[in-house]
Amino acid sequence: MASLVITSELFGSMFGTTAMRTVFSDRRLVQYYLDVEAALARAEAGLGIIPKEAAEAISAAADVANVDWDRLAAKTEIVGYPIVAVVEQLTEWCAGDHGQYCHWGATTQDIMDTADVLQIRDALDLVAGDLRPIGDALAALAERHKATPMAGRTHLQHALPVTFGYKCAGWLSAIDRHIARLDDLRDRVLVGEFSGAAGTLASLGEDGLAVQDAVMAELGLGRPTITWHTARDLFAETTGFLALLTGSLGKIAYDVMLMMQSEIGEVFEPFVSGRGSSSTMPQKRNPISSELILAAAKIVRQHHGTMLDALVQDHERATGPWHAEWHALPEAFVVSAGALAQARSMLEGLEVDTDAMRRNLDATGGLIVAEAVMMGLAPVIGRGRAHDVVYECCRTSLETGTAFIDSLADHPEIADRIDRARLKSLVDPANYLGAAPQMVDRLLRERG
């Protein structure tokens, strides 16, 4: 059998989780099909459309443990879809002639689409199970380090001082938005499908809408306002959510990777003996979780692209785009689960080196707060001139190796206006954090 990454014995645990793979396994999928068939039978029995005894027999028999897998696979390949083969076996499992009432008034896509929604419901529960702890881990880091100064970087260069808690709070804000998106998404996407061959429920006559309502009540799903056999925006929205989520995790991972560089050394993924080691370089501690998260973000984005392509479907039943979903939706969820698991483990055990943060902050001898000096001088000589004067002092320090404070103190337009004690205060990065700590407090307060 081919070694596919998400199911591989070698790579599977790196790019997915057992729990999410189980949700999208063949056994669970077929059980979802059977659950929908059983719910349909109970709904129709409750409305007097089929005998109550038939519904009881169908519900009792609808167990994936009964499946003949070789026969199911062979028939699915012939038909092109699995439901005919599933119903054929389910009919045989029922005692007497009760099996003849299986799949009454339904069409294949009704069963498959609704099973997909059941999968999505369980899969989103797993996503939430990691997403909220990731938010909690980031909130703890933000609170602990809201006043821990570090170099803020723009274009990969020192910009102005920030705090590590401020950086974590920025990450957290995106995670909190994803938690809100997840709650909103459930309301829209957890809607079942039962509409019949062309979506009009014609096979059930006047009972069609009542059966639809009853089936959804049995399954705990929302009732569709109108048939969505070829209106696939909700499934595409689902993978869009996963793409946004893994993209935000990728941003966190990218920052961590950069901060783990040997020259920086400000944070480290949790230490596990041998993890991230090299076959030839014993000193290496590679950012494995971050690398996997970054890869996952790229993979899920591609699957979302496939789901967007699958939106364009023909008439009342698709001739191919639907099949693309069978690949993209499960893999997007499995890979997202892997990214979430890696991120949770990394952030809950993240090692923070505050000494390295301070050392890097001081690496330019105060140049990182040149803006502070400029703003201190601006009321005296004007902002434009203050910018030019401080720029000259920065160039002097960089070109001659002179300490920044000395370059400032020696400049005639500064020496007569700001004393050395004031200059020393201005070039201390810890004194130029702006509202970063207060922003952290505000975010933590507002998230409850």
* DSSP secondary structure of 340-378: HHHHHHHHHT-EE-HHHHHHHHTTTTTGGGHHHHHHHHH
How confident is the model over 107-156, as pLDDT tens digits?
A: 999 999 999 999 999 999 999 999 999 999 999 999 999 999 999 999 99
In percent, the amount of the chain with pLDDT more than 90 equals 81
CA distance 213 to 116: 18
Mean pLDDT along residues 60-83: 96
Do 288 and 321 reside in the same domain of the chain?
yes
Q: Is the pLDDT of residue 231 over 80?
A: yes
Q: Is the pLDDT of residue 277 over 60?
A: no
- Give the angle subtended at the CA of 382 by the CAs of 379 and 388, to the nearest 5°: 125
- pLDDT averaged over every residue in the chain: 93
Q: Is the pLDDT of residue 302 over 90?
A: yes
Count the helices and strands in the chain (H runs, E runs): 18, 4
Q: Is the pLDDT of residue 285 over 80?
A: no
Determine which helix (DSSP H) or strand (DSSP E) holds 128, and give its type and residue range. helix 108-144
Residue at 381 is within a domain: yes
Mean pLDDT along residues 26-51: 97
CA nearest to 240, candidates 174, 332, 318: 332
Residue 155 a catalytic site member: yes
Q: Name the residue type at position 204.
A: L
Residue 284 pLDDT: 56
CA distance 314 to 161: 55
Do 123 and 97 reside in the same domain of the chain?
no
- Give the angle subtended at the CA of 408 by the CAs of 405 and 412, to the nearest 5°: 150
CA nearest to 349, candidates 253, 257, 270, 259: 270
Question: How many independent structural domains does the chain possess?
Answer: 3
Residue at 306 is within a domain: yes
In percent, the amount of the chain with pLDDT more than 70 equals 96
E strand map for 5-148:
none
Residue with tokens 């459930």: 186
Identified catalytic residue from 8, 59, 195, 278: 278
Domain containing 118 — which CATH number? 1.20.200.10
Do 167 and 271 reside in the same domain of the chain?
yes
Nearby residues of 209 by Cβ (< 8 Å), 6 or more positions away? 201
Do 242 and 115 reside in the same domain of the chain?
yes
Residue 339 pLDDT: 97
The per-residue DSSP string of 306-343 comes to: HHHHTT---TTS-SSHHHHHHHHHHHHHHHHHHHHHHH
CB atoms within 10 A of CB 183: 11
Mean pLDDT along residues 180-191: 96
Mean pLDDT along residues 28-51: 98
Do 172 and 87 reside in the same domain of the chain?
no
CA nearest to 193, candidates 121, 124, 107, 125: 107
CA nearest to 102, candidates 115, 89, 119, 116: 89
Residue at 45 is within a domain: yes
Do 172 and 287 reside in the same domain of the chain?
yes
Q: Is the pLDDT of residue 282 over 70?
A: no
Do 287 and 409 reside in the same domain of the chain?
no
Determine which helix (DSSP H) or strand (DSSP E) holds 428, and give its type and residue range. none
- Is 293:301 a contact under the CB 8 Å cutoff? no
Domain containing 64 — which CATH number? 1.10.275.10
Q: Is the pLDDT of residue 294 over 80?
A: yes
Do 43 and 177 reside in the same domain of the chain?
no
Per DSSP bridges, beta strands 267-268 and 157-163 are: unpaired
Residue 128 pLDDT: 97
Structure tokens at 126: 């797993």
How confident is the model over 352-408, as pLDDT tens digits?
A: 999 999 999 999 888 999 999 999 889 988 999 999 999 999 999 999 988 999 999
3-state secondary structure of 186: helix
CA nearest to 178, candidates 131, 144, 110: 131
Identified catalytic residue from 155, 262, 273, 315: 155
Domain containing 418 — which CATH number? 1.10.40.30
- Give the angle subtended at the CA of 402 by the CAs of 399 and 407, to the nearest 5°: 100
3-state secondary structure of 134: helix
Residue at 32 is within a domain: yes
Mean pLDDT along residues 440-447: 95
Q: Is the pLDDT of residue 430 over 80?
A: yes
Do 23 and 131 reside in the same domain of the chain?
no
Do 116 and 248 reside in the same domain of the chain?
yes
Residue 279 a catalytic site member: no
Its domain, for residue 415, covers 367-427
Residue at 5 is within a domain: no
Mean pLDDT along residues 247-263: 96
Residue at 155 is within a domain: no
CA nearest to 229, candidates 191, 202, 183: 191
Residue 275 pLDDT: 56
Do 258 and 328 reside in the same domain of the chain?
yes
CA nearest to 269, candidates 259, 280, 279: 259
Nearby residues of 441 by Cβ (< 8 Å), 6 or more positions away? 146
Residue at 210 is within a domain: yes
Structure tokens at 5: 């990454």
CA distance 386 to 108: 74
CA distance 232 to 415: 69
For residues 117 and 422, which has the higher predicted lDDT (pLDDT)?
117
Number of Cα atoms under 13 Å in the Cβ half of residue 84:
9
- Is 329:116 a contact under the CB 8 Å cutoff? yes
Q: Is the pLDDT of residue 293 over 70?
A: yes
Residue 415 pLDDT: 84
Residue at 446 is within a domain: no
Kindly calculate the radius of gyration of the chain based on its CA atoms and give it in whole angstroms.
30
Do 356 and 372 reside in the same domain of the chain?
no
Q: Name the residue type at position 65.
A: A
